[in-house]
Amino acid sequence: MKTSELNLKMKVKDNKKEFYFNLFLNKIPTSNMELKKFSRSFLTLKQYNKKEFLYRSGEIQEEVGFVCQGLLRKYYVNEKGSEIITGFISENGFATDYPSFLRQKPSKYYIQCLEPTIIVKIPYEKLQEAYQRYKDNEMFGRLVAENVLTRETNRVESLLFESAQERYLNFIDQNKDIINRISLTHLASYLGIERQSLTRIRSKLAKKQL
């Protein structure tokens, strides 16, 4: 490869990295440019293949991940050996077991890519340093907590207060951007029902539309 071609390829790669870094930095609710500059200094970018794991159960999460592109599932394995999905994380979401991340304790969850995925990673130690140096950065912690808490509270409340059909319809309504990117098996696990039950619900609804 010619030097000029190599330099162009490297420039395109650097521009792409800056695009993803800026995508994340623009989510930080502050106008403090010094804070954003400091945050930029410790960000890393990593690309994952489909089925690759971001984190596994038993690991300590040393970084929190911001999803620039792609789709992941968060799940645990119950006493019967079944995978129970507790959430899906897509673009602009945070891929993390946040309580475990904050305590720096081993997580009970797996976070796995369902698609090729691009993640901006924020290290725990640098995030703590940012909290100490910039009071504004506490807003970032609240942003992550609210993002994760809202996602997981919605699932818990749907299991408690909605029928299986209501859960399915509400999921479709609230997740139009990812519904066609999720398999029926994974969706059934998230909704807390058997795949056969989900198939029956879909068939029943389809007949109503005829």
Q: Which residue has the higher pLDDT, 110 or 154?
A: 110
Mean pLDDT of 186-210: 91
- Residue 13 pLDDT: 62
User: Cα–Cα distance between 96 and 98 in angstroms, integer?
Assistant: 5
Instruction: Determine the CATH number of domain 3-136.
Output: 2.60.120.10
Tens of pLDDT, residues 80-107: 999 999 999 999 999 999 888 989 999 9
- Residue 11 pLDDT: 46
Q: Return mean pLDDT, the chain.
A: 87
Examine the pLDDT at 4 and tell me if it is beyond 60.
no
Tens of pLDDT, residues 61-74: 999 999 999 999 99
- Residue 136 pLDDT: 67
User: Cα–Cα distance between 199 and 191 in angstroms, integer?
Assistant: 12
The SS3 of residue 108 is coil
- Cα four-point dihedral sign 23, 29, 35, 38: negative
Reported pTM: 0.86
Between 164-174 and 184-191, two packed helices, what is the crossing angle to 10 degrees? 120
Q: Name 11's Cβ contacts closer than 8 Å, sequence gap at least 6.
A: none
User: Cα–Cα distance between 102 and 82 in angstroms, integer?
Assistant: 27
Tens of pLDDT, residues 19-53: 999 988 888 766 678 888 888 889 999 999 999 99
Q: Residue 11 forms beta bridges with which residues? A: none
Mean pLDDT of 50-59: 96
Lowest mean pLDDT among 80-89, 143-152, 178-187: 143-152
- Residue 197 pLDDT: 95
Q: Residue 140 forms beta bridges with which residues? A: none
Per-residue confidence at 55, pLDDT binned at 50, 70, 90?
Answer: very high
- Residue 150 pLDDT: 83
Examine the pLDDT at 2 and tell me if it is beyond 60.
no
Domain ranges of the chain: 3-136
How many of the other CB atoms lie within 10 Å of CB of 9? 11
